[in-house]
Structure formats: structure tokens, C-alpha cells
Amino acid sequence: MIDLYTFTTPNGRKASVMLEEVELPYNVHKIDITKNEQFTPEYIAINPNSKIPAIIDQDTEMKVFESGAILIYLAEKTGKFLPVDQKGRFQVLEWLMWQMGGVGPMSGQLNHFKRYAPEKIPYAIARYEKETLRLYSVLDKQLVDKEFICGDYSIADIATYPWISIYESQGLTLDNHPNLKRWVETVQQRPAVQQGMKVP
């Protein structure tokens, strides 16, 4: 049994989508970051960085934080969505790191400055929107001849989808990125994705 500590953010949804995809039983513990619940001593004991998501694997007593690490852990535990051959494995890990170092942070900053910042700062909005769209173009090119990011469905797709799926709420469009748009539509049809995106 997996204990999942999460909230309604793209990073949180990476973990719940993965758990649905690998069909592991899990309990959901909602950590309401709008109420600073991530800063309680009990949660810091699980994740010293006070971010969501985090998991505890009751089978192994492993605590894992950081969404990318969680995806790798669950992929290795179940033998799913991460190739075992070196070339395939590192291609997936490259794109996983690309999401974690690029799409997540840039899209997250765009989301903050466009929707939540107490004052609108045009320079910040323009900067993060431009970089988010650049990253969309990178992925659109990668998907020219592939159904999924690395060919087969993998943790690279699971990590990236929750961040791309919010494009409309950010006032963005995929009309100039037809391969990316097709990929979003394909991934969102997966039952496990639909269920995982509802958690918590």
C-alpha cells in the first residue's frame, strides 16, 4: 500500500496519475498548501522540503519526495513506463528532467504571475509566457513522428501532461503546435489519467 501526500497541483497529479497507471493501491492524504499544511512537523518528517507530493511505501517503508523521484521509484517498483535498456531508459530520463527543469518551473511561474500575483508585472508575464511557448515548440518537434514523447508511453508523458493540460487556464493555445495538441488529446483519453487528475 502506498500513502500519497498530495494536493490539486500539476506536480501532485503526476503521482496520482502514475499510481492509477501502475494500478497500485494507495491512500490519499490531502495536504492543503493554501493552509500551509505542508509546513507541519509531521509532514516535514516525510518531506524536508515542504512540497507536495510525497509518498510512503508501506511495503518497503520507503519515503520518497520530489515528483520525478516518485515516478522513477514507482516505475522501478512495478517495471512499467521506464525502459530497462540503457538507451531507452536515458531518453525517458532526459525528457523527465526536461519537464522538471523547464516545463514545470516556467509554466508554474507563468501561472503565478498571470493568475495569482498581487500585482501584474508585464515583464514577468511576458518572460515566462515566451519561455513556456518555446518549450511547447521543443515538445511539438519531438512529437512530429512519435505518438508519445519517447515513442512508447512513459513517465516522461506522465510528468509532462499535467503541466501542459493547464494551457487554456493560462490563456495559451496549442493551435500553433499541432503535434503537441494531438498528444494532449491522446493522453487525456487514458482512463488512468482521467482518474488520477481528479485526485485529491
Q: What is the structure's pLDDT at 90? A: 98
pLDDT of residue 86: 98
Q: Which amino acid is at 92?
A: V
pLDDT of residue 75: 98
CATH 1.20.1050.10 fits 86-190, yes or no: yes
Query: What pLDDT, on a 0 to 100 scale, did the predictor assign at position 181?
Result: 98
pLDDT grade for 20, boundaries at 50, 70 and 90: very high
Q: What's the pLDDT band for 128 if we cut at 50, 70, 90?
A: very high
Q: Domain-by-domain residue ranges, the chain?
A: 2-80, 86-190
What is the pTM assigned to this prediction?
A: 0.97
User: In this predicted structure, what is the pLDDT of residue 11?
Assistant: 98
Sign of the alpha-carbon dihedral angle for 166, 191, 14, 131? negative
CATH-assigned architecture of domain 2-80: 3-Layer(aba) Sandwich (3.40)
Question: Mean pLDDT of all residues in the chain?
Answer: 98
Quote the CA–CA distance of 53 and 2 in Å, as a whole number: 12
Identify whether the C-beta of residue 18 lies closer than 8 Å to the C-beta of residue 155. yes
What pLDDT score was predicted for residue 136?
98
Query: Average pLDDT of 173-197?
Result: 98
Count of C-beta atoms within a 10 Å radius of residue 44? 12
Q: What is the radius of gyration, based on Cα positions, of the chain?
A: 17
Inter-residue contact 136 to 180 (CB < 8 Å): yes
Strand-pair partners of 63: 56
Q: What is the pLDDT of residues 133-170, one digit of tens each?
A: 999 999 999 999 999 999 999 999 999 999 999 999 99
Contacts 24+ apart (CB under 8 A), 25-32: 25/1, 26/1, 26/2, 26/55, 27/1, 27/2, 27/3, 28/4, 28/199, 28/200, 29/3, 29/4, 29/5, 30/6, 30/200, 31/5, 31/6, 31/7, 32/7
Report the pLDDT value the prediction gives residue 125, as an integer from 0 to 100: 97
pLDDT at site 154 = 98
Residue 148 amino acid letter = F
